[in-house]
Structure 1
Amino acid sequence: MARIKLEEISTRAPEHLKKEIVKEETATIVAKLNELQNLLYAEGKHSILVILQGMDASGKDGLIRNVFGKMNPQGVTVHSFKVPTAEELGHDFLWRVHKQAPARGMIQLFNRSHYEDILITRVHNLCDKDTAVKRMRAINDFEWLLTEHNDTVILKFYLHISEKEQAERLQERLDNPAKQWKYNEGDLKEAKFWPEYRKMYEDCFEECNKVPWTIVPADQNWYKEFIVAQKLYEVLSGLKMRYPGLKK
């Protein structure tokens, strides 16, 4: 498999697509997802882990709200991985992640994930190459464990945003009072490491691809939401789930 090069992949929807038509299709899919999620929860045989990765301002929060927000909150949970606490640093790097793995019947979303431990840590030289290679092997084993022993389907999405779009969104966080709460001075500093982050992401795609990645053009929210909703629908409908009968 050829190495994925992000610079060769568009961050925008194909030009022939019409925004309003795609948004209508997404709304239809989201309505169907609500029923499929209920079926997943009722049957209790499978679980779904959705991993969302991307540069700052790539739209992870909005995606979660617009695609998953209409589902029953009893069956969908979200966990955002922040800077590790002192307790978490005292364990192996997957300790805090494994605790958040979904139970059967559940959809779990990771807003950032275990991949941060081979992304930001490498960009800032907190993790050497040998350690990174070991962590990549551990990630592959971890994802294999979930898929093979807990009937978990893992969907990994990289929200592919352009530098120009990111700069505009970060500026909007400064200018728009409704979005100023999202502003983090560190985001602007991290944006300066754009080439390094892209290289590290490309390493992830190459070394941790036993569960494949979906590269999602993310400059236009309407298209990003359509791609993720469609992929989730394909997976859930493909499980051939059935409601349980009466308990005996």
Structure 2
Amino acid sequence: MKNIEIEALKVTSNIKLSSLPTFIDVETSESKKEKELDKIRIKLSKLQDKLYAHNKYGVLICLQGMDTAGKDSLVREVFKEFNARGVVVHSFKTPNSNELEHDYLWRHYIALPEKGKFSVFNRTHYENVLVTRVHPNYILNENIPGVNSVEDITADFWENRFESINNFEKHITSNGVIVLKFFLHLSKEEQRLRLIRRLETEKHNWKFSPSDLKERELWDDYQVCYEEAINKTSKKHAPWYVIPADNKETARYLVAKTILEELQKYSDIKEPELEPEIKENIKMYRDKLANEK
């Protein structure tokens, strides 16, 4: 199996999405990719146990991508070996009335992981500079002072949002949240094929909505917004990774590999040492339990 260096996927300078691949050949079969993913899942589950016992870091995994990019199935496959109590998945949809009574980052802040746990954002706080930028009229629902019409939403407005998101991520990483952000880079042709499969496969019909086609017409607008958002917010403390997503199995493998290799860099994540008195008396405690009647 071809080795893919995760550094090649990390955004460390300005990128052009149109020049980045949506498919990458790892030179192996689907079954072998599944076996490799399974090995990584087991390692991640053991690392999760250490993270929980260590109780100093939380991990935030952010997933973004166009519709049909494979976010849901990726969450299912990558995290299936995790202790269910140690990972929480949040899928952020249109803000509800309660969420609109707060600033746009509030609902994301309260969903951050506890120490020792993982949170997965399936669609993230970046929707606030993606969907709202393609559809600026959505901003009016936030009832922001000084923003009374779409004409009030200037270039400075979006610059302030990027700055706020960078500050948000800087704040949480400095307080123990490890942030890894993944853009599932899908081609327009592959999306077309996946939408057709949704329509042709009865059990997947429910996933289709006519609005999918309306959003597809705005493909180029979304690509421009994604590109700018990634370029303005990929930082050393909260990097973006652009994952070729035309093959779902490869995308899952690359995301899992990236998470594992990045977390392994935190050499301080270890189970806590027992207090000397307890450690010295382990044999006594074991014998006491073994001789219990």
TM-score by length of 2: 0.80
Is 1:34 the counterpart of 2:48? The answer is no
Give the structure 2 partner of residue 208 of structure 1: 233
Q: In 2, distance between residues paired with 1:178 and 1:238?
A: 42
Q: Identity of aligned pairs, percent? A: 39
Residues 26, 250 of structure 2: 8 Å contact kept: no
- Paired letter, 1:191: R
Q: Distance in 1 between matches of 2:263 and 2:128?
A: 29
1:222 matched to 2:233? The reply is: no
Q: What is the alpha-carbon distance in structure 2 between the residues aligned to residue 8 and residue 19 of structure 1? A: 26
Partners of 1:5 and 1:137 in 2: CA distance: 21
Tell me by how many angstroms 1:13 deviates.
1.5
Asked if structure 1 preserves the Cα contact closer than 8 Å seen for 2:41 and 2:80, the reply is no
Distance 1:242 1:120 in 2: 40
- Once the two structures are overlaid, the 10-residue window that deviates more, 159-168 or 82-91, is 82-91
Q: Give, as a single letter, the amino acid of the residue that structure 1 aligns with 2:120.
A: L
**C-alpha distance in structure 1 between counterparts of 2:206 and 2:80, whole Å:** 21
C-alpha distance in 2 between matches for 1:55 and 1:219: 12
- Matches of 2:26 and 2:53, distance apart in 1: 40
Counterpart residue number, 1:194: 219
In the other structure, the counterpart of 2:142 is: none
Q: Deviations over 1:66-102 (max 9, x none)?
A: 0012210100000000001122112111011101111
> How many angstroms apart in 2 are the aligned matches of 1:180 and 1:16?
33
Q: Does 1:79 align with 2:90?
A: yes
Q: Secondary structure at the match of 2:61?
A: strand
- Partners of 1:184 and 1:215 in 2: how far apart? 27
User: Which amino acid letter does the alignment assign opposite residue 80 of structure 1?
Assistant: S
1:64-213 → structure 2 map (5 Å cutoff):
64-126=75-137, 128=153, 129-149=155-175, 151-210=176-235, 211-213=238-240
> What pairs up with 1:8-19 in 2 under 5 angstroms?
8-14=19-25, 16-19=27-30
Change (3 A) 1:220 1:193: same
Corresponding letter in the other structure for 1:196: D
Tell which deviates more after alignment, 44-53 or 125-134.
Answer: 125-134
Q: Report the alpha carbon displacement of residue 2 of structure 1 after superposing the two structures with TM.
A: 4.8
Deviation at 1:54, TM superposition (A): 0.2
Partner of 2:273: 245
Which sits farther off after the overlay, 152-161 or 86-95? 86-95
Give SS of 1:178's match: helix
Q: What is the CA-CA distance between 1:18 and the residue it aligns to?
A: 4.3
CA contact (8 A) 2:59 2:118 kept: yes
Q: Tell me the CA shift for residue 237 of structure 1.
A: 1.9
Which letter maps to 1:130? D
Counterpart of 1:74 in 2: which secondary structure? helix
**Root mean square deviation, CA, Å:** 1.6
Taking the aligned partners of 1:107 and 1:163, their CA distance within structure 2 comes to 31
Query: TM-score with structure 1 length normalisation?
Result: 0.94
Aligned 8 A contact 2:60 2:113 in 1: yes
CA distance in 2, matches of 1:52, 1:15: 22
- Aligned positions, number: 247
Which deviates more, 42-51 or 18-27?
A: 18-27
The one-character-per-residue Cα deviations of 1:123-178 (angstroms, maximum 9, x if unpaired) are 123353222111110000000011002x1110000000111111111121122122
CA shift digits 1:25-66 (9 cap, x unpaired): 211111111111111112111110000000000000000000
Give me the whole-angstrom Cα distance separating, in 2, the residues matched to 1:201 and 1:239: 29
1:10 Cα shift? 1.0
- In structure 1, stretches of 5+ residues that fail to align are none
